[in-house]
Structure 1
Amino acid sequence: MPGPLDGVKVVDLTTVVVGPICTRTLADQGAEVIKVEAPGGDILRYLAAGSRTPAMSGKFINFNRNKRSIVLNIKEPEGLAALKRLIASADVFVSNVRPAALARAGLDHEALRPLNPRLIHCGIVAFGTDGRYANRPAYDPIIQSLSGVAGTFERAIGEPRFVPMVMTDHITGLVAAQSIGFALYRREKTGTGESIEVPMFETMASFVTSEHLGAKTFDPPEGPSGDDRLLSPDYRPLPTKDGYLTIRPNDNRQAFAFFDAIGRPELKEDPRFRTALSRTENAAAFFTVQVEALAQKTTAEWLEIFAKADVPAGPYNSIDDLLDDPHLNDVGFWGFEDHPTEGRIRRTRVPVTFRGGMRQAMRPAPQLGAQTREILAEAGYGAEEIAAMLESGAAQEKEA
């Protein structure tokens, strides 16, 4: 059976990570995603080391599977007209172009609604259009800095830091894909399209404050913001005799089993650790107990002990360790494919499963403009019209 979004056509005018994560999520679930690229292509094609051929970085390959690529110069009237023709027959149009630029091109929701009243128009933006930051450019680290993500590190380790991955792009892209799914569901009931705005700053501010607003949830505040457990400098994989281990004894059963497992049963009667609330209020002391205990044995020894005690624990994996993680291998997380231009590549399985059916025909990430001719032909352009657009530069295809 096909994936749950089989038959949904998506026109994707996004670049870098936040938009491509959104549209990859839709594509992985069966949507037909047409990636519209400017001449030169998505900059992510070039923003990572280790590519085998020009314009096909590993990051681009990972974020753009299951899509087709068409190159249109929408600064040219013929290129813009071709894009609008694609949108006219689409279910979803996704962009991460700044709203002012989108409106100048006539690609905002109000301009496109007469063309396609059933269209789901999703604009991923840095900042909500009603605020003073609207139309400012921003990338992931700027949003991490503004939204408090970097500030959580200052509270924890004394200096602001970025999460070493484009986390805000990933989270916002997934929220955008989720929102598109909601809109498609409502369209099935109402028959009408929708305009969605997904702002990175507000999305991440919600993400951070949901976790760390804490006692400032109340008005007036009942105390400071922040979850002291998560902001502890010892909220990390903890050293063992030969490596690292992460444990998380949360409820009383787990905490008391942990105290027994480390040979400190008397701590069950310690008023600092007797309840979940007291352990939270004394998070630093609770972490100190964990740090001191784990240093006494090897990782393997502790994993065996905690497994018998049913204390939540897990080993530490480096990025490279993930490639050989036994559970990931059990579930078939890693796969290999022969890319038509890049040769043998490793890919990840779609982590979500639908018993009612998943996408079967997997597409490799496309070369720049690899499907320009076929997409234009599907949109109703004749061979002579396509040749003229390629000649004028309104459209481009991959180099032979």
Structure 2
Amino acid sequence: MGGALEGVKVLDLTRVLAGPHCTMILADLGADVIKVEGPGGSDETRSWGPPFQNGVSAYYLCANRNKRSITVNLKTEEGREIIRTLAKEADVLIHNFKTGSMEKWLLDYDSLKKINPQLVYCSITGFGETGPFRHLPGYDYIIQGMSGLMSITGSEESGPIKIGVAMVDLLTGLYSAISIEAALYEREKSGQGQKIDMSLMDTAVSSLANVASNYLISGNVPRRIGNDHPNIVPYSTFKALDGELIIAVGNNRQFATLCDVLGYRELAEDEKFRTNEARVKNKEELTRVLENLLQVKSADEWMELFSEKNIPCGPIHSMDQVFENPQVTAREMVVQVDHPEAGLVKLVGSPIKLSRTKVKMERHPPMAGEHNSEVLQQAGFSLEEIAQLKENKII
């Protein structure tokens, strides 16, 4: 059985992470994704490293499996005409060029919907296609700062800290995939495509979730609180005898059980700690008491005891521990694929688990232009025309 999106054709003019992550999700689900780059390969991540495996960038490998690759020089009219030809038969076109670029090339939505009214057209930019910042380039790091994410990440001592991965890019890719799937579903009823205007800034602001809600309701600007939770206590990292663990107590019953396991039941009856509201007000004092009690056992010993009593807790794993975790292995979150240059490559698996239309790893992350002849022949170009395009450096 094919994938859930089998039969959906995606023309992917994106690079780096947000767009490629989106199209990899679609490709994992069975869509035919054609990755379009400039001749020689213009996705910057092909050169980002180390690490490389036999000259192939680990960064590029992480977001480009299950796709085909063609190279097209969009600075030429012949190259842009190739895109128009492919767009006639595509279900989806996605790009992350700066606002105005596609209009300049007559590859914008209004131009392409004339030749394909059913086209779902997704634009990913830093700030969206409206508003005073629409022409500014967007970078995950800068958006993390501007959106407020960095202002709430880290501690008062550390100062603002960015998230350890390009989370805004990844979330934008997810939102884009959801939007594309929604537009495809709606097209089944209306018969019409539509344009999707995705913004890294919008995504980052939406990801503020309860922290934004706290501010909008109270008017109080949140401060950096490290690993603590702004609304729940104890809900943080704590030092045991040999290292740190996470304790995430969500209600008064769990707190009372925690106190029992720690051998200090009366702590749960103290007026300063009996309710979550009181614990939030007296967080610093409670943290000192808990860490004193935790010093008599190792983190692993405490986690075993807490788990027996259904107290939410967990370790802080390093990357090697993550990929040695039997749960990660059981859920097939590491997959292997043969690559013609890199050899046997390990990749992070898909978190999407469908019972019938399962996600499959059918294509390695493609080399630049690997499928030029295949894709163009399917689009109606002759071998002679393809040879001429190559000779003229159009592909």
Label 1:237 to 1:189 Cα distance change in 2 as closer, same or farther (>3 A): same
What is the alpha-carbon root mean square deviation over aligned residues? Answer: 2.0
Shift of residue 223, structure 1, vs aligned partner: 4.5
SS of 1:197's equivalent?
strand
Shift of residue 347, structure 1, vs aligned partner: 1.9
Counterpart of 1:116, as a letter, is N
Counterpart of 2:387, as a letter, is A
Deviations 1:353-396 (CA, angstroms, capped at 9, x unpaired): 1113113452110111111111111111001100000000001x
The corresponding residue for 1:249 is: 249
Determine if the alignment matches structure 1 residue 45 to structure 2 residue 51.
no
The corresponding residue for 1:398 is: none
Counterpart of 2:11, as a letter, is V
The corresponding residue for 2:215 is: 216
Residue range with higher mean Cα deviation, 140-149 or 278-287: 278-287
Shift of residue 78, structure 1, vs aligned partner: 1.2
SS of 1:103's equivalent?
helix
Shift of residue 155, structure 1, vs aligned partner: 5.8
SS of 1:213's equivalent?
helix
The corresponding residue for 2:31 is: 31
Determine if the alignment matches structure 1 residue 145 to structure 2 residue 145.
yes
**Contact 1:214–1:225 at 8 Å: present in 2 too?**
no
The corresponding residue for 1:291 is: 291
**Contact 2:235–2:248 at 8 Å: present in 1 too?**
no
Counterpart of 1:285, as a letter, is E
When normalised by structure 1's length, the TM-score is 0.92
Label 1:65 to 1:290 Cα distance change in 2 as closer, same or farther (>3 A): farther
Deviations 1:112-144 (CA, angstroms, capped at 9, x unpaired): 110110011000110022211111012111101
The corresponding residue for 1:12 is: 12
Label 1:152 to 1:366 Cα distance change in 2 as closer, same or farther (>3 A): same
SS of 1:271's equivalent?
coil
1:205-354 equivalences under 5 Å are 205-208=205-208, 210-218=209-217, 221=218, 223-225=220-222, 229-230=228-229, 237-354=237-354
Label 1:215 to 1:3 Cα distance change in 2 as closer, same or farther (>3 A): same
Label 1:285 to 1:195 Cα distance change in 2 as closer, same or farther (>3 A): farther
Unaligned regions of 5+ residues in structure 2, if any? none
Q: Take 1:40 and 1:147, find their aligned partners in 2: how far apart are those partners? A: 35
**Contact 1:155–1:231 at 8 Å: present in 2 too?**
no
Q: Take 1:174 and 1:215, find their aligned partners in 2: how far apart are those partners? A: 25
Determine if the alignment matches structure 1 residue 112 to structure 2 residue 84.
no
Counterpart of 1:82, as a letter, is I
SS of 1:302's equivalent?
helix
Counterpart of 2:70, as a letter, is I
Label 1:284 to 1:184 Cα distance change in 2 as closer, same or farther (>3 A): farther
**Contact 1:214–1:226 at 8 Å: present in 2 too?**
no
SS of 1:30's equivalent?
coil
Unaligned regions of 5+ residues in structure 1, if any? 396-400
Label 1:286 to 1:116 Cα distance change in 2 as closer, same or farther (>3 A): farther
1:372-391 equivalences under 5 Å are 372-391=372-391
Q: Take 1:180 and 1:312, find their aligned partners in 2: how far apart are those partners? A: 36
Q: Take 1:48 and 1:273, find their aligned partners in 2: how far apart are those partners? A: 49
**Contact 2:10–2:93 at 8 Å: present in 1 too?**
yes
Deviations 1:265-323 (CA, angstroms, capped at 9, x unpaired): 11111223222333333333343343333332112211111011110111121012112
Q: Take 2:99 and 2:194, find their aligned partners in 1: how far apart are those partners? A: 16
Shift of residue 91, structure 1, vs aligned partner: 0.6
Q: Take 1:288 and 1:84, find their aligned partners in 2: how far apart are those partners? A: 65
Label 1:12 to 1:47 Cα distance change in 2 as closer, same or farther (>3 A): same
Q: Take 2:101 and 2:246, find their aligned partners in 1: how far apart are those partners? A: 47
**Contact 1:214–1:224 at 8 Å: present in 2 too?**
no
SS of 2:362's equivalent?
coil
1:67-216 equivalences under 5 Å are 67-153=67-153, 156-208=156-208, 210-216=209-215
**Contact 1:34–1:67 at 8 Å: present in 2 too?**
yes
SS of 1:393's equivalent?
coil
Q: What's the % identity of the aligned pairs? A: 35
**Contact 2:120–2:183 at 8 Å: present in 1 too?**
yes
SS of 1:296's equivalent?
coil
Shift of residue 344, structure 1, vs aligned partner: 1.8
SS of 2:52's equivalent?
coil
Label 1:351 to 1:216 Cα distance change in 2 as closer, same or farther (>3 A): closer
Q: Take 1:172 and 1:386, find their aligned partners in 2: how far apart are those partners? A: 35
Shift of residue 149, structure 1, vs aligned partner: 1.2
The corresponding residue for 2:366 is: 366
SS of 1:63's equivalent?
coil
Counterpart of 1:51, as a letter, is F
Size of the alignment, in residue pairs? Answer: 390
Q: Take 2:85 and 2:286, find their aligned partners in 1: how far apart are those partners? A: 62
Shift of residue 224, structure 1, vs aligned partner: 4.6
Q: Take 2:187 and 2:168, find their aligned partners in 1: how far apart are those partners? A: 28
**Contact 1:99–1:108 at 8 Å: present in 2 too?**
no
Shift of residue 342, structure 1, vs aligned partner: 1.0
Residue range with higher mean Cα deviation, 328-337 or 31-40: 328-337
Q: Take 2:158 and 2:243, find their aligned partners in 1: how far apart are those partners? A: 25
Q: Take 2:313 and 2:198, find their aligned partners in 1: how far apart are those partners? A: 36
Label 1:260 to 1:352 Cα distance change in 2 as closer, same or farther (>3 A): same
